[in-house]
Amino acid sequence: MSKDKVTSQQVADLAGVSQSAVSRVYTSGASASKKTIDKVHKAAAELNYRPNVLARAMVSGKSRIIGLVVAYLENQFYPTAIEKLSTQLQEKGYHVLIFMASKTAGNIDSVVEEILDYQVDGIIAASVALSSKLADRCHSAGVPVVLFNRTQDDEALSCVTSDNFNGGVKAARFLLAGGHNKLGYIAGWEGASTQRNREFGFTAALQQAGVKLHAREVGDFSMEQASAATRRMFADNPPDAVFVANDHMALAVMDTLRFELGFNIPKDVSLISYDDVPAAAWPAYNLTTVRQQVNQMVQETVRILMEQIAGNSLQSQRISIGSPIIVRGTARIPKGWQP
């Protein structure tokens, strides 16, 4: 059996069509009749032919590859979002390369420089921040960038998030309506826009109601650090309700409160968090949380990226998607509460 690579011309000869017809069959979005497609696929199967994606990218100038940067995968929100992003991009004829980076801009710069070497058609940056220098570098290279679940002050960057500020407002109002007056907050990584905006919304609603924040600790979006933050917060004069910046930390907070410190949830303390990851609905947690509507966030991210790759939209877009409270069993439910 010959190890020589089968060419598209050989497929065309066997199928009785032109080489350009073979190319159209294997180009996403190109036009070819069903008869031609069937003939080409039959010939390709007979010859064990696979199209050379990289070679076609060099000719077309389009790699059909999207670089997806993420800082960490421990939080269930991100594997879920990455799966949905990958699926939708594949439906658009794109392949996804996933790159890991730390949360800080210093590390992401070197990672994105590496991504650009792959001649990607676009970049999605999830849970990370870009420096202004790197954003300019991507713009100069003609590679659109969309931030997913992050915002930055740079108005030139498109971003898609949930409405984190109003999500924080809703969490505060829900707990206040439940009769709580000693409210605590466990923050995530303080460099994240999501963390800042959730806290801003929460404290703004407390201030509007004339209530001071009773306690604050930092969990840094880490389960281990969230547990330590819980021990500090509940060591003396504990709050009667806590808003945790995301579900990933809240699961650790719950375990620490129930199994280590002996608190009953929600009898002794109410708990609400943010994201609505799959584990939040598990009976073991049954966590009341503010939902990030990940399907809508993914749809908007892919739409913006496709428009910018096609050159149909040169203006940046900043999308904020509403976040409803999902009431379960970890927080006292206010009388007459309507979602």
Q: What is the pLDDT of residue 60?
A: 55
Calpha distance 68→126 (Å, rounded): 7
- C-alpha distances (whole Å) from 242 to each of 34, 94, 273 are 60, 42, 8
- C-alpha distances (whole Å) from 6 to each of 10, 58, 323, 329 are 7, 19, 52, 61
Calpha distance 152→131 (Å, rounded): 9
In a 3-state reduction of DSSP, which class is residue 325?
strand
CATH architecture, domain defined by 164-291: 3-Layer(aba) Sandwich (3.40)
Q: What is the pLDDT of residue 229?
A: 98
- For the domain spanning 62-162+293-321, the CATH number is 3.40.50.2300
Calpha distance 51→55 (Å, rounded): 9
Helices marked H in 209-234 — which ranges? 223-233
Calpha distance 99→118 (Å, rounded): 12
Q: What is the pLDDT of residue 2?
A: 46
The residue type found at 334 is P
Q: What is the pLDDT of residue 50?
A: 81
Radius of gyration of the chain from its Cα atoms, rounded to whole angstroms: 25
Whether the Cβ atoms of residue 206 and residue 212 lie closer than 8 Å to each other: yes
Q: Residue-wise pLDDT tens for the chain (339 aa)? A: 345 778 888 999 999 999 888 888 887 667 889 999 999 999 999 988 887 665 665 555 577 899 998 888 888 999 999 999 999 999 998 989 998 886 554 457 778 888 888 889 999 988 777 777 777 888 888 899 999 998 877 777 899 999 999 999 999 999 999 999 999 999 999 989 999 999 999 999 999 999 999 999 999 999 999 999 999 999 999 999 999 999 999 999 999 999 999 999 999 999 999 999 999 999 999 999 999 999 999 999 999 999 999 887 778 899 999 999 999 999 999 988 776
Whether the Cβ atoms of residue 138 and residue 116 lie closer than 8 Å to each other: yes
Beta strands in the chain (DSSP E): 65-70, 95-100, 122-126, 145-148, 158-162, 183-187, 215-218, 241-244, 270-275, 289-291, 318-321, 325-326
Q: Is 99 exposed, middle or buried (0-12, 13-18, 19+ CB in 10 A)?
A: middle
Q: Where in the chain is the domain with CATH 3.40.50.2300?
A: 62-162+293-321, 164-291
Q: What is the pLDDT of residue 151?
A: 85
